[in-house]
Amino acid sequence: MPQAYQSELATAIAAVIAASKICRAVQATITADSLEKKDKSPVTIADYASQAVICKIILDAFRNDPIVGEEDAGDLREPANQLFRDRTLHEITSSGTPATTDEMLAWIDSGNHDGTANRYWTLDPIDGTKGFLRKEQFAVSLALLINKRIEVAALACPNLPMGSGSGAVFYAVRGQGAFVIPLDQPDAKPVAVKVSKISDPAQARMCESVESGHSAHDQSAIALEKLGIAGEPVRMDSQAKYGAVARGDAEIYLRLPTRKGYEEKIWDHAGGVLVLEEAGGKVTDIDGHPLDFAAGSTLKNNRGVVVTNGLLHDAVMAVVKTLKFE
């Protein structure tokens, strides 16, 4: 029997690779150039160009598929942002995708679905925009959900070390394992991705967000101490953290709530979660519940995220349960 979702997987991989190339080109040139969104977070021409190109590639292949993307073209349509809009279009056309301004805006806005369909994609065109602006880690994350379950994931991490260079594209289909290919050699033989076999908490390596506003660094420091881990946590932006645990660079990724009521967005997790689980890892929230992707565009039924290589999950949860959150 042919394996399920092969054409969705091929489309997702092609889409995140095309977008990553644009992001890399922009990252090489930018000097802290971004707009501020209503929630005060930054967005760059690369976030918009990435969302446009990925939505176009998905819709060319699967015309009726809804997409739940992070960005929308509202701010780009503002007359005051004409220069920003023109530069976004320039990045798209110079990457080899001919487009008019109206087409570009429509592609971006095709990512405006709300996560209520039986089948939809969720997209973070640049996850870790702050890391992108710092010229550090970021990810392009795309996942397909069917009946509220993640079935296909493609997660490009353009700055993650890979062999002698950098740029890793992780991907997974539920039940088929997780794999990684180099961003610059997509035809190379895929390598199976597996979590580390470390089961002694004291030997574990932990990663967390760079931004203390996204994850409570004071509480993770207490967790490290209680687990007997001597090393410092590795701070890294984006879902590259899921990739790091999936491939055994680290054993633990903690995302501990910093403020009451923040709802994690599905596009900040879906791609990374399937790669991690298919690599043998485990993810729950801080109360030990599975992440609930059936609640629309946010994980409103969960608080925080605890990611491990599986072997360490119980030990980490025992410590997380002793921490104090707002």
Ligand X SMILES: Nc1ncnc2c1ncn2[C@@H]1O[C@H](COP(=O)(O)OS(=O)(=O)O)[C@@H](OP(=O)(O)O)[C@H]1O
Provide the residue type at 131 as one letter: G
Catalytic residue among 129, 258, 284, 308: 129
- Is 70 annotated to bind a ligand? Reply is yes
| Partner whose binding site includes residue 213, from ligand X, Mg ion, none (CB under 5 to 8 Å by kind) | ligand X
Residue closer to Mg ion, measured from CB, 46 or 152: 46
| 175 interacts with, out of ligand X, Mg ion, none, CB within 5 to 8 A per kind | none
Crossing angle for the helix pair 6-29 and 45-61, nearest 10 degrees? 160
Residue nearest to Mg ion (CB): 127
Nearest CB to Mg ion, comparing residues 196 and 215: 215
Catalytic residue among 47, 109, 237, 249: 47
Question: What is the binding site for ligand X (CB under 6 A)?
Answer: 41, 70, 124, 126-131, 209-211, 213-214, 237-238, 258-259, 262, 265, 268
User: For residues 91 and 127, which CB has a smaller minimum distance to Mg ion in the complex?
Assistant: 127
Residue 111 is classified by DSSP as: T
User: Would you call 72 a catalytic residue per the annotation?
Assistant: no
Nearer to ligand X, 85 or 217 (CB): 217
> Known binder of ligand: residue 287?
no
The answer to whether 109 is a known catalytic residue is: no
Residue closest to 305 by CA, chosen among 262, 275, 244? 262
List the single partner that 214 binds among ligand X, Mg ion, none, CB under 5 to 8 Å by kind: ligand X
Angle separating helix axes 45-61 and 82-94, nearest 10 degrees: 50
In the bound complex, what is the minimum distance in angstroms from residue 238's beta carbon to Mg ion?
Answer: 7
Question: What are the backbone dihedrals phi and psi of residue 274, each rounded to the nearest 5 degrees, phi first?
Answer: -65, -40
Which among Mg ion, ligand X, none contacts residue 16 (Cβ within 5 to 8 A by kind)? none
Query: Any known ligand binding at 292?
Result: no
Q: One-letter amino acid identity for 178?
A: A
Residue 34's binding partner out of Mg ion, ligand X, none, with CB under 5 to 8 Å set by partner kind: none
Distance (Å, whole) CA 130 – CA 214:
11
| Ordered DSSP codes for 220-268 | HHHHHHHHT--SPPEE--STHHHHHHHTTS-SEEEE---STTPPPBGGG
103 appears as a binding residue in the annotation: no
Among the listed residues 256, 265, 276, 246, the one whose alpha carbon sits nearest the alpha carbon of residue 129: 265
Structure tokens at 163: 């062999």
150 assigned ligand-binding residue: no
The answer to whether 284 and 314 are in contact (CB under 8 A) is: no
**CA 149, 115, 237 angle in degrees (round to 5)?**
80
Query: 103 vs 211, which CB is nearer to ligand X?
Result: 211
**How far apart, in Å, are the Cα atoms of 289 and each of 176, 230, 305?**
24, 28, 10
- Least Å distance, CB 114 to Mg ion, is 17
User: What is the distance of C-alpha 160 from the center of its chain?
Assistant: 13
List residues near Mg ion by CB under 5 A.
Answer: 41, 70, 124, 126-127, 129, 268
Q: Which is nearer to Mg ion, 129 or 220 (CB)?
A: 129
What does 278 bind: Mg ion, ligand X, none (CB cut-off 5 to 8 Å by kind)? none
- Rg of the chain over all Cα atoms, to the nearest angstrom: 19
CB of 264 to ligand X, least distance (A): 6
Closest CB to ligand X: residue number? 211
Place of tokens 């069917």: 146
Report DSSP state, residue 161.
E
Binding residues: 70, 124, 126-127, 268
Binding residues for Mg(2+): 70, 124, 126-127, 268
* Residues taking part in catalysis: 47, 129
